C-alpha cells in the first residue's frame, strides 16, 4: 500500500499544488479582491512607516531665515506570520482493493481519497483566512486561540471613535447622508492625500436592518428605478452575504459569517449592532503575506498559500497528512478604517 504513497504523485510539491487548485468559495471579503497577496521566504516581515509631514509654510521677511521643515521619521515593526496546521491520516483499509498487490495502477483512486481529506482541510483553512481578513478590516485580528494582532497598538495610535448614524430620525432630515459624507471626509484626511475610489461597509444584522428601515434611506429609493433594492437584496452574492446596496456613496453589505474564538460559542464575525468601513483602491492597504512551510524542502523558499505533506505511520498501517497555511493578514494603514453604530 505504501508503495503508492512513496510515488512522485504524493510528494510535498504535487500535493501542495493539488490543494491550491481545489475549488472553494472562501467568503465575501476574500471574494472582493481587496487583499494583495505576496510571498516571502521568511517567517516574519518588517513594515516601515515613514511619517512624511505636510505643513503650511508661514511667510518670512525677504533675506531672513526660512522655515525649517521637520525631517520625515521612520519606524520599523516586525510582524510574525502565523502558522496554521491540520493533521489527518489515510488508513490502509480505506484504500483496500483499489489496486493489485505490488502494482501502482490504483494511484488515481487513492489520490481521490487523499483529495477528500485535502478538501476538508482546505475549507477549514479558507475559513480561517476569511476570519482573519474580516479582523484586518476591523484593525484587530483575533485568532482561534484568543491571541490578537491589534494594528492600532502596533502603530501606537488610538482606534477611531465609532460614528453614530441616526437611522430612526423621522421625518428624514438628511442627517444619515451627512454622516456618510463626514465619514468619507475623515477617511480621506486619515489617508493623508492617498487617493481611493470607493468606501465599503461590513454591517451586522441589526445595523443593516436599521439602515434599510431608515426613513431617509427609504425616501431616497422609493419612486425611483432603484426601489427594487429595498425588496430584492436578501440574499445576494451567491449566498456569501445577506444583502447589499449603495447609499450615501458607500456600499453597505450585511455580512454573513460566524466563528468561535477560544472555545466560546459561535458568534457573528461582524457584531450585530456595528458596521466597519474601509476604503477601496488604496495600494497595499490590506496585505496577505504567505510564508514557507516548516519542512526541510521548503526552507528559504517563497511561501505558497497552502502546503500538504504525507509521511508513513511507523506500523505501515497508513499515512499521516499535514495540511498547513502560513498567512499574515493585516491593514497597513489602520487609521483609514472607521467604525459605525446607530440610533
User: What per-residue confidence (pLDDT) applies to 167?
Assistant: 93
Buried b / exposed e across 135-145, counting CB within 10 Å, b at 16+?
bbbbbbbbbee
Quick one: pLDDT at residue 206? 96
Last residue of a domain, one of 228, 243, 273: 273
CATH code assigned at 110: 3.15.30
User: 16 near 299, Cβ under 8 Å?
Assistant: no
Tell me 69's DSSP state.
Answer: P
Confidence (pLDDT) at 110 = 60
Both 168 and 130 in a single domain?
no
Torsion angle (degrees, nearest 10) of CA 169, 228, 280, 172? -10
Say what the pLDDT of residue 312 is. 81
pTM of the model: 0.83
Q: Are residues 172 and 241 in the same domain?
A: yes
Q: In tens digits, what is the pLDDT along the chain, a chain of 343 residues?
A: 445 555 555 555 555 665 565 544 448 999 899 999 999 888 888 876 665 444 445 555 655 666 555 555 556 678 889 999 988 887 777 766 655 444 445 555 566 666 677 777 878 888 889 999 999 999 999 998 899 999 999 888 899 899 999 999 988 889 999 999 999 999 999 998 889 999 999 999 999 999 989 999 888 877 666 666 655 555 555 578 888 888 999 999 999 888 888 788 889 999 999 999 999 999 989 999 999 999 898 999 999 998 888 778 888 777 788 888 899 999 989 999 999 999 9
> 86 lies in a domain?
yes
Return the C-alpha torsion angle 172, 176, 178, 181, nearest 10. Answer: -150
The answer to whether the CB of 85 falls within 8 A of the CB of 73 is no
Residue 7 has a pLDDT of 55
Look at residue 67 and tell me if it is in a domain.
Answer: no
The three-state secondary structure class of 255 is strand
In this prediction, residue 318 carries a pLDDT of 77
**Is the Cβ–Cβ distance between 256 and 28 less than 8 Å?**
yes
Say if residue 122 is in the same domain as residue 256: no
What pLDDT is attached to residue 66?
A: 60
Q: Which three cell numbers stand for residue 149?
A: 494582532
pLDDT score recorded for residue 21: 59
The residues, any chain, with a CB within 8 Å of residue 129's CB and separated by 6 or more, are 26, 30, 288, 325, 327, 329
Q: Clarify whether residues 97 and 181 are in a common domain.
A: no
In a domain, 55, yes or no: no
Asked if the structure places residue 337 within a domain, the reply is no
Q: How many CB atoms lie within 10 A of CB 100?
A: 9
Domain that holds residue 39: 2-50+73-147+287-329
CA distance 136 to 285: 10
Interacting residues of 52 by C-beta distance below 8 A, sequence separation 6+: 72, 192
Angle at 85 between CA 106 and CA 146, to 5 degrees: 155
Note whether 136 and 169 are same-domain residues: no
262 shares a domain with 191:
yes
Looking at the fold, whether 26 and 130 belong to one and the same domain comes out as yes
Q: Helix 107-138 to helix 12-20 angle, to the nearest 10 degrees?
A: 60
Domain count, the chain: 2
User: Do 2 and 106 touch, CB atoms closer than 8 A?
Assistant: no
For residue 62, which phi and psi values (nearest 5 degrees)? -60, 135
* Residue 63: inside a domain: no
Cα separation, 133 vs 154, whole angstroms: 17
pLDDT of 102 reads 45
Residues 103, 139 share a domain: yes
pLDDT at 24: 41
Q: Are residues 9 and 132 in the same domain?
A: yes
Any idea which residue has 498559500 for its cell?
305
Q: 116 and 190 share a domain? A: no
Residue 65 falls inside a structural domain: no
pLDDT recorded at residue 201:
97
Contacts of 289 (CB under 8 A, 6+ apart): 38, 39, 40, 45, 81, 303, 327, 328
Examine the domain organization and report whether 40 and 142 are in the same domain.
Answer: yes
CA 26, 32, 33, 39 torsion-angle sign = negative
Tell me the C-alpha distance between 144 and 131, whole Å: 9
User: What pLDDT, on a 0 to 100 scale, did the predictor assign at position 224?
Assistant: 65
Kindly state whether residues 9 and 104 are assigned to the same domain. yes
- The C-alpha cell that represents 196 in the structure block: 481611493
Q: Are 141 and 149 in contact (CB under 8 A)?
A: yes
Amino acid at each position: 500500500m505504501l508503495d503508492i504513497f512513496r510515488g512522485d504523485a504524493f510528494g510535498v510539491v504535487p500535493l501542495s499544488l493539488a490543494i491550491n487548485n481545489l475549488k472553494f468559495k472562501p467568503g465575501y471579503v476574500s471574494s472582493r479582491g481587496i487583499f494583495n497577496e505576496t510571498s516571502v521566504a521568511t517567517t516574519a516581515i518588517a513594515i516601515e512607516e515613514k511619517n512624511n509631514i505636510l505643513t503650511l509654510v508661514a511667510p518670512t521677511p525677504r533675506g531672513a531665515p526660512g522655515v525649517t521643515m521637520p525631517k520625515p521619521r521612520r519606524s520599523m515593526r516586525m510582524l510574525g506570520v502565523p502558522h496554521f496546521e491540520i493533521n489527518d491520516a489515510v488508513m490502509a483499509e480505506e484504500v483496500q482493493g483499489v489496486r493489485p498487490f505490488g502494482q501502482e495502477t490504483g494511484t488515481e483512486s487513492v489520490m481521490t481519497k487523499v483529495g477528500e481529506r485535502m478538501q476538508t482541510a482546505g475549507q477549514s483553512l479558507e475559513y480561517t483566512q476569511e476570519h482573519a481578513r474580516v479582523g484586518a478590516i476591523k484593525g484587530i485580528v483575533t485568532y482561534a486561540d484568543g491571541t490578537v494582532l491589534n494594528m492600532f497598538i502596533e502603530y501606537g495610535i488610538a482606534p477611531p471613535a465609532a460614528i453614530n448614524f441616526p437611522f430612526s430620525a423621522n421625518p428624514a432630515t438628511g442627517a444619515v447622508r451627512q454622516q456618510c459624507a463626514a465619514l468619507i471626509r475623515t477617511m480621506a484626511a486619515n489617508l493623508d492625500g492617498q487617493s481611493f475610489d470607493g468606501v465599503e461597509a461590513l454591517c451586522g444584522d441589526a445595523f443593516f436592518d436599521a439602515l434599510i428601515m431608515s426613513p431617509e434611506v427609504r425616501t431616497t429609493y422609493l419612486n425611483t428605478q432603484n426601489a427594487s433594492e429595498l425588496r430584492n437584496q436578501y440574499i445576494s452574492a451567491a449566498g456569501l452575504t445577506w444583502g447589499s446596496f449603495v447609499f450615501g456613496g458607500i456600499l453597505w453589505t450585511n455580512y454573513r459569517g460566524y466563528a468561535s474564538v477560544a472555545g466560546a460559542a459561535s458568534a457573528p464575525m461582524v457584531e450585530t449592532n456595528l458596521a466597519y468601513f474601509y476604503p477601496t483602491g488604496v495600494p497595499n492597504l490590506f496585505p496577505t503575506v504567505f510564508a514557507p512551510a516548516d519542512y526541510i524542502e521548503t526552507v528559504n523558499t517563497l511561501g505558497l498559500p497552502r502546503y500538504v505533506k504525507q509521511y508513513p505511520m511507523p506500523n505501515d498501517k497508513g499515512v499521516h497528512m499535514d495540511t498547513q497555511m502560513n498567512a499574515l493578514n493585516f491593514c497597513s494603514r489602520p487609521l483609514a478604517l472607521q467604525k459605525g453604530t446607530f440610533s
